A and B are shown apart, each in its own frame.
Chain A
Amino acid sequence: MTVPPDHPDRHKTVWGVKILGWLCILLGAVLLAGGVWLIVLGGSWYYGLSGLGLFLTGLLLNRYRTEAVGLYLLVWIGTVGWAWWEVGNDWWAQVPRLVAPSIILVLVLLCTPALSRHASKRLAGSS
């Protein structure tokens, strides 16, 4: 049985991925630039690295690559580890470290179905 094309829904989902992709690129670039500055000043390497990770996640999202999910998952796990190492269970101190990255993680995960559809289509197209 062929799946009836669901244009409106797919259209919306695609835009969501695009926008998230660009958002990640933008935020990633800001974190990367500031992070490099901080590294030069002798500070933490976390921001540069996570900025790079976020930036690449954005690029992958823009190309509908499922690798985006895995990469960001890595960034997020790294973030949690680093945040715990820095401030442990001081939850107020965790707010700027964990809240925004976790929201981005949720959004990236929400993109997974769309990315998978794209991947299977691409696979189907290439076969």
Chain B
Amino acid sequence: MIRLFTIPLIVTLATAVPALSQQADTAEPEADRAETAATENTPSQAETSDNLSQRAAQSQREVGADWPFWGGDAQATRYSPLDQIQPQNVGQLEKVFTFHTGDMPEGSAEGKYSPEVTPLKIGSDLIMCSAMNILISVDAATGEENWRFDPGVSNDAIPYGATCRGVSVYTDPEAPEDAPCATRVIEGTLDARLVAVDLATGSPCADFGDNGSVDLWQGIGERVPGWYAVTAPAAIVRGIVVTGAQVKDGQAEDAPSGVIRGYDAVTGELAWAWDLAAPEQNRNGPAEGEVYTRGTPNMWTTAVADEALGYVYLPMGNSSVDYYGSNRTEAENEYATSLVALDATTGEEVWHFQTVRHDVWDYDLGSQATLLDYQGTPAVLLPSKQGDIYILNRETGAPLTPVGELSDLPKGEIEPDFISDTQPFSEWHTLRKPPLEEKDMWGFTPIDQLWCRIQFRMANYDGFFTPPSSDKPWIQYPGYNGGSDWGSVAVDTERGIIVANYNDVPNYNRLVPRDEVTSKPINEQEAASDGGAKAEGAADPQAGAPYGINVNAGWRNDVTGVPCTRPPYGGIRAIDLATGETLWDRPLGTARRNGPFGIPSMLPFDIGTPNNGGSVVTAGGLVFIAAATDNLFRAIDIETGETLWSTVLPAGGQANPITYEVDGRQYVMVTAMGHHFMETPVGDEVIAWALPQQ
């Protein structure tokens, strides 16, 4: 009889719970437009540019056999025209190679790894960066290493996590084909450098900056390791390398500038800077002894560029102090959480589109925007963290799909004059689910569900955009990891389908009065004393604001680690590009790795876990995605949403996969390297699969 009492425990342990915690233009018209734009632009640029060819539109590498851009093609569709692997044969995929980067966390980097890397495939090589920015070239067919270059980034440079999402490649049209660095790999590093090496050899490009390296700390101010770090691949447009940087969230009002800068891809010289609070004064860099405007919104994610127009589209985040806004400037308010189109030849703003007014929820734009043709108009598709999907005119920023307006929103007691009582939302498509109700609370027994219901009732919650509060916690739903994050969406330009994976997770937050704040901003800490071990926003000081912030990311039960809201916590959806209607929608991620107290339940059911990392869609009719916390890499039928093939990765697959071709054989590849915030195991594997050779 007594033994029977262990059954509830076993059953409840087994109870699965998550751990957490068109491009319609074909390449040819694009190239045509590029040429037209080039001829149009050449005369006007001749006066301002010392290097004419660097400012003219160049033809872009095409996706197919290669995967030449982080987002696949220059339009960032993550769509591949390869079709050898199809729903009928995907079940036969076999592993071709596993490559180990050898970059595993050591010392103070333990618990801070979140590599997220997506290699490029150019010619016969895969080019990638490791978590700590080691550049590596690998044979795309065999996985054998060609070369590596270690820029020597030290552990103390790790901001929130050791992340290098990828690299960019640039071919100098002026250079002879076999000249060193005619084609170069450019990487932004965690210690804020731009590094350029030769694609073929990995040798630093002597002509780029200081022997292959440009110091991005120029004009930023006090050099504090980890405060200012590049984690995303640069966009390269008209020969200009455009980069922002991650300014560590939640530290201080007086944080490094979110300035966006363009550098000559050949020489590494500063071409322009866009300091949103002082665009004119600081266009060529700040005056001697001055710095770019501090504390401004930054871009930590990946931009996309329209080479023909010469525009670059910047998904901006918000100011360093995310959850309090009364002392932000007008310029910050204007550009925070906006997509900004800059003319990359001049660094001047063309237009911007704001997705959140007076953002005090850390709803940074995390996704790379995608360029496509929408009903005959060159457009840019913008996914947001609230789950809204907007389609805008690429040249003017005017919405091409309906944008609605939420009104009479709650203003709260902390800063009612600052909180906007209206917010835009997409009437065309949103991944966002309805507001939470008490019955949405979860747990694995009635007792923890009851405790979550009590927490629900004790918190401030008035639906979307509930303003921050301090006397009581407030529920933020979707949370800052909700909707679309840096994995972005994929667009099947042939079938006219958007594939969007998303998170569906709230945060449980509280503003902490200044006198109760115990954490120090990064510039006042002992070196590297603060880690990425805690979730972003958990006990951030927000120095200079009246409140610090405490975020319970994923709103998890303190004792069991089980989320307070019912599954699914993440899903994947196919959306008809013509109508904005959902074609299918399903939970993404099984319960196999998750369970209370961190014990894996081994359950194969699709519970829908949080997921970070995007998908690739192929002409073969498949969606390849890892992303979820179950460490599975799967192939999904784009027509039905059904999983046709899956394989267990040796570590977390929080990275965008790619597909490419070598000698007529199609490969799919993803990196399994884990993610500290997603609580997946760390690894260093780069794994490729293909169909058996005939």
Query: Residues on A close to B: CB < 8 A?
Result: 12-13, 15-16, 19-20, 23, 27, 30-31, 34-35, 37-38, 41-44, 47, 50, 86-87, 90, 92-93, 95-97, 99-101, 103-104, 107, 110
| 10 smallest beta-carbon distances between A and B, as pairs | A16-B1, A41-B457, A96-B449, A93-B566, A92-B567, A96-B443, A103-B8, A86-B439, A34-B450, A100-B445
Q: How far is the CA of A30 from the CA of B453 in the complex (A)?
A: 14
Q: How far is the CB of A62 from chain B (nearest CB, A)?
A: 15
B454 at the interface (CB under 8 A from A): yes
14 residue pairs of the A-B complex, CB under 8 angstroms, read: A16-B1, A16-B4, A19-B1, A19-B2, A19-B5, A34-B450, A38-B457, A42-B457, A93-B566, A95-B444, A96-B448, A99-B12, A100-B446, A110-B4
Q: How far is the CB of B444 from chain A (nearest CB, A)?
A: 6
- For residue A13, which residues in chain B have a CB less than 8 angstroms away from its CB? 1
B438 at the interface (CB under 8 A from A): yes
Q: Which chain A residue has the least Cβ–Cβ distance from B458?
A: A41
B451 at the interface (CB under 8 A from A): yes
- Given contact pairs A38-B450, A99-B11, enumerate 8 new A-B contacts (beta carbons under 8 Å): A15-B2, A19-B2, A38-B453, A43-B456, A44-B453, A50-B446, A96-B15, A100-B445
- For residue B7, which residues in chain A have a CB less than 8 angstroms away from its CB? 103
Q: Which chain B residue has the least Cβ–Cβ distance from A94?
A: B566
Q: How far is the CA of A35 from the CA of B454 in the complex (A)?
A: 9
- For residue A37, which residues in chain B have a CB less than 8 angstroms away from its CB? 454
Q: Which chain B residue has the least Cβ–Cβ distance from A43?
A: B457
Q: How far is the CA of A24 from the CA of B16 in the complex (A)?
A: 24
- For residue A35, which residues in chain B have a CB less than 8 angstroms away from its CB? 450
Are A23 and B5 neighbours in the complex by a CB distance under 8 Å? yes
Which of B1, B446, B454 contacts A96 (CB under 8 A)?
A: B446
Contact flag A31-B450 (CB < 8 Å), given A43-B457, A93-B442, A110-B4:
yes
B482 at the interface (CB under 8 A from A): no
Are A92 and B568 neighbours in the complex by a CB distance under 8 Å? yes
- For residue A110, which residues in chain B have a CB less than 8 angstroms away from its CB? 1, 4
Encoded as 1 (CB less than 8 Å from any A CB) or 0, chain B from 7 to 50 comes to 11001100110000000000000000000000000000000000
Which of B1, B438, B566 contacts A92 (CB under 8 A)?
A: B566
Q: How far is the CA of A117 from the CA of B91 in the complex (A)?
A: 60
Q: Which of B443, B450, B454 has the most CB of A within 10 A?
A: B450
Are A30 and B454 neighbours in the complex by a CB distance under 8 Å? no
- For residue A99, which residues in chain B have a CB less than 8 angstroms away from its CB? 11-12, 15, 444-445
Q: How far is the CB of B562 from chain A (nearest CB, A)?
A: 9
Contact flag A31-B447 (CB < 8 Å), given A16-B4, A92-B566, A110-B4:
yes
Q: How far is the CB of B568 from chain A (nearest CB, A)?
A: 7
Are A30 and B447 neighbours in the complex by a CB distance under 8 Å? yes
B164 at the interface (CB under 8 A from A): no
Interface of B is mostly: helix
Q: How far is the CA of A115 from the CA of B448 in the complex (A)?
A: 31
Which of A47, A92, A104 contacts B607 (CB under 8 A)?
A: A92
Interface residues of B in 563-584 (CB under 8 A from A): 566-568
Interface size class of B (residues with CB under 8 A): 20 to 34
Q: How far is the CA of A110 from the CA of B4 in the complex (A)?
A: 10
Are B454 and A38 neighbours in the complex by a CB distance under 8 Å? yes
Are A96 and B442 neighbours in the complex by a CB distance under 8 Å? yes
Q: How far is the CB of A45 from chain B (nearest CB, A)?
A: 11
Interface of A is mostly: helix
- For residue A103, which residues in chain B have a CB less than 8 angstroms away from its CB? 7-8, 11
Q: How far is the CB of A77 from chain B (nearest CB, A)?
A: 16
Q: How far is the CB of B595 from chain A (nearest CB, A)?
A: 12
Q: How far is the CA of A103 from the CA of B10 in the complex (A)?
A: 11
- For residue B447, which residues in chain A have a CB less than 8 angstroms away from its CB? 27, 30-31, 34
Q: How far is the CA of A23 from the CA of B7 in the complex (A)?
A: 14
Q: How far is the CB of B588 from chain A (nearest CB, A)?
A: 14
Are B453 and A43 neighbours in the complex by a CB distance under 8 Å? yes
Q: How far is the CB of B506 from chain A (nearest CB, A)?
A: 15
Q: Which chain A residue has the least Cβ–Cβ distance from B591?
A: A92
Are B442 and A44 neighbours in the complex by a CB distance under 8 Å? no
- For residue A19, which residues in chain B have a CB less than 8 angstroms away from its CB? 1-2, 5
Encoded as 1 (CB less than 8 Å from any A CB) or 0, chain B from 447 to 468 comes to 1111101101110000000000
Are B454 and A16 neighbours in the complex by a CB distance under 8 Å? no
- For residue A31, which residues in chain B have a CB less than 8 angstroms away from its CB? 446-447, 450
Q: How far is the CA of A85 from the CA of B446 in the complex (A)?
A: 16
- For residue B607, which residues in chain A have a CB less than 8 angstroms away from its CB? 92
Which of B446, B450, B454, B567 contacts A101 (CB under 8 A)?
A: B446
- For residue B438, which residues in chain A have a CB less than 8 angstroms away from its CB? 43-44
Are A43 and B454 neighbours in the complex by a CB distance under 8 Å? yes
- For residue B566, which residues in chain A have a CB less than 8 angstroms away from its CB? 87, 90, 92-93
Q: How far is the CA of A50 from the CA of B568 in the complex (A)?
A: 27
Q: How far is the CA of A67 from the CA of B229 in the complex (A)?
A: 68
Q: How far is the CB of B461 from chain A (nearest CB, A)?
A: 12
Q: How far is the CA of A95 from the CA of B607 in the complex (A)?
A: 12
Contact flag A96-B2 (CB < 8 Å), given A35-B450, A37-B454, A47-B450:
no
- For residue A12, which residues in chain B have a CB less than 8 angstroms away from its CB? 1
Q: Which of B5, B7, B456 has the most CB of A within 10 A?
A: B5
Q: Which chain A residue has the least Cβ–Cβ distance from B456?
A: A43
Q: How far is the CA of A15 from the CA of B450 in the complex (A)?
A: 30
- For residue A93, which residues in chain B have a CB less than 8 angstroms away from its CB? 439-440, 442, 566-567
Q: How far is the CA of A19 from the CA of B8 in the complex (A)?
A: 14
Are B444 and A96 neighbours in the complex by a CB distance under 8 Å? yes
Q: How far is the CB of B222 from chain A (nearest CB, A)?
A: 47
- For residue A23, which residues in chain B have a CB less than 8 angstroms away from its CB? 5
- For residue A96, which residues in chain B have a CB less than 8 angstroms away from its CB? 15, 442-446, 448-449
Interface residues of B in 114-160 (CB under 8 A from A): none
Q: How far is the CA of A20 from the CA of B3 in the complex (A)?
A: 12
Q: How far is the CA of A97 from the CA of B620 in the complex (A)?
A: 43
Q: How far is the CB of B472 from chain A (nearest CB, A)?
A: 11
Are A34 and B439 neighbours in the complex by a CB distance under 8 Å? no
Are B446 and A47 neighbours in the complex by a CB distance under 8 Å? yes
Q: Which chain B residue has the least Cβ–Cβ distance from A18?
A: B1
Q: Which of A50, A95, A97 has the most CB of B within 10 A?
A: A95
Q: How far is the CA of A44 from the CA of B15 in the complex (A)?
A: 24
Q: How far is the CA of A30 from the CA of B450 in the complex (A)?
A: 10
Q: How far is the CA of A104 from the CA of B9 in the complex (A)?
A: 12
Q: How far is the CA of A55 from the CA of B42 in the complex (A)?
A: 84
Q: How far is the CB of B315 from chain A (nearest CB, A)?
A: 33
Q: Which chain A residue has the least Cβ–Cβ distance from B440?
A: A93
Are A34 and B1 neighbours in the complex by a CB distance under 8 Å? no
Q: How far is the CA of A27 from the CA of B454 in the complex (A)?
A: 17
Q: How far is the CB of A78 from chain B (nearest CB, A)?
A: 13
- For residue A15, which residues in chain B have a CB less than 8 angstroms away from its CB? 1-2
- For residue A50, which residues in chain B have a CB less than 8 angstroms away from its CB? 446
Q: How far is the CB of B605 from chain A (nearest CB, A)?
A: 8
